[in-house]
């Protein structure tokens, strides 16, 4: 599919008090943010960061759902932490207490295998629901969710294309087994050497676009959209994602 730059545009980003365009539903045993046109034939499954539902993240889901005028898209963001996300005050872990709480969270609620095994049953349930009719599925992850997306993009995956924003736990050894087009949008806090080795190991269509003046999490819960610089780069990031999924799904 040829990429049509005219098709995709980021709606005006709201800096504070964002009002969700979607709604919350119960799918596959999880509270799920669902947004996008009812007639959509494409869907994107979003794996959020460890802080769960945040206005910056639901606004991003709405942008992906409504920013492509040519190809309507439905976006699903399940609550993989079942109502118990990490507290955003724990990050950055600049003291022992915060470090301990984050460590415990990553070893229990955020253990990647636990979330990875929930993706296919979720998609299977969507296919049996009122949202049946999706022709292709994309996968998007933020921070911690980026690791889940990388692992879910290997082998005979059910997803057609993937993208990650400021991904955590970048491991070059994950790259050779990825089998679908993959985009990565790293921030200044990601390790350049790890990302370079990861990119080198990919055998699929790829795109790596750096955001060297932005912090880890700027496109999700940690994004300060009242800051003009952050807001502008948030918009740039979502334009890249819109074009990527337009072209690859």
CATH code, domain with 211: 3.40.50.1820
Peptide bond into 92 cis (omega under 30): yes
Band the pLDDT of 5: cuts 50, 70, 90: low
Band the pLDDT of 129: cuts 50, 70, 90: confident
Give me the number of domains the chain comprises. 1
* 249 and 160 Cβ atoms separated by less than 8 Å: yes
The answer, yes or no, to whether residue 162 has pLDDT greater than 80, is: yes
Instruction: Print the domain residue range for 25.
Output: 5-248
Residue burial 64-91, b: 16+ Cβ < 10 Å; e: rest: bbbbbeebebbbbbbbbbeeebbeeebb
Question: For residue 90, which phi and psi values (nearest 5 degrees)?
Answer: -75, -15
Give burial (CB, 10 Å; 0-12/13-18/19+) of 62: buried
What pTM, to 2 d.p., does this model score?
Answer: 0.95
| Pair of tokens at residue 71 | 């190809």
pLDDT digits (tens, 9 = 90+) for 71-86: 989 999 999 999 999 9
In 3-state terms, what secondary structure has residue 148?
Answer: helix
Cα distances (Å, whole numbers) of residue 242 to 18, 64, 169, 182, 215: 20, 6, 24, 13, 21
Nearest by Cα to 192 from 207, 177, 172, 175? 172
pLDDT digits (tens, 9 = 90+) for 184-233: 999 999 999 999 999 999 999 999 999 999 999 999 999 999 999 999 99
């Amino acid at each position: 599919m040829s990429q049509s730059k005219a098709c995709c545009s980021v709606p005006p980003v709201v800096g504070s008090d964002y009002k969700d365009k979607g709604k919350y539903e119960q799918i596959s045993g999880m509270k799920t943010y669902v947004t996008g046109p009812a007639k959509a034939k494409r869907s994107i499954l979003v794996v959020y960061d460890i802080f769960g539902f945040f206005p910056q993240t639901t606004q991003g889901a709405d942008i992906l759902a409504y920013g492509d005028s040519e190809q309507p898209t439905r976006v699903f963001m399940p609550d993989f932490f079942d109502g118990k996300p990490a507290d955003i005050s724990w990050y950055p872990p600049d003291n022992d207490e915060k470090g301990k709480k984050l460590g415990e969270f990553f070893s229990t609620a955020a253990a990647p295998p636990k979330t990875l095994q929930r993706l296919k049953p979720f998609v299977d349930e969507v296919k049996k629901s009122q949202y049946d009719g999706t022709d292709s599925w994309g996968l998007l992850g933020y921070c911690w969710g980026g690791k889940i997306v990388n692992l879910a993009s290997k082998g005979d995956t059910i997803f057609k294309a993937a993208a990650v924003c400021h991904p955590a736990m970048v491991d070059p050894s994950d790259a050779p087994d990825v089998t679908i087009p993959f985009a990565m949008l790293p921030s200044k806090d990601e390790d350049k050497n790890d990302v370079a080795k990861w990119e080198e190991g990919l055998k699929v269509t790829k795109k790596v676009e750096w955001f060297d003046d932005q912090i880890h999490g700027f496109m999700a819960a940690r994004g300060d959209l009242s800051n003009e610089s952050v807001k502008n780069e948030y918009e740039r990031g979502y334009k890249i994602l819109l074009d990527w999924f337009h072209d690859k799904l």
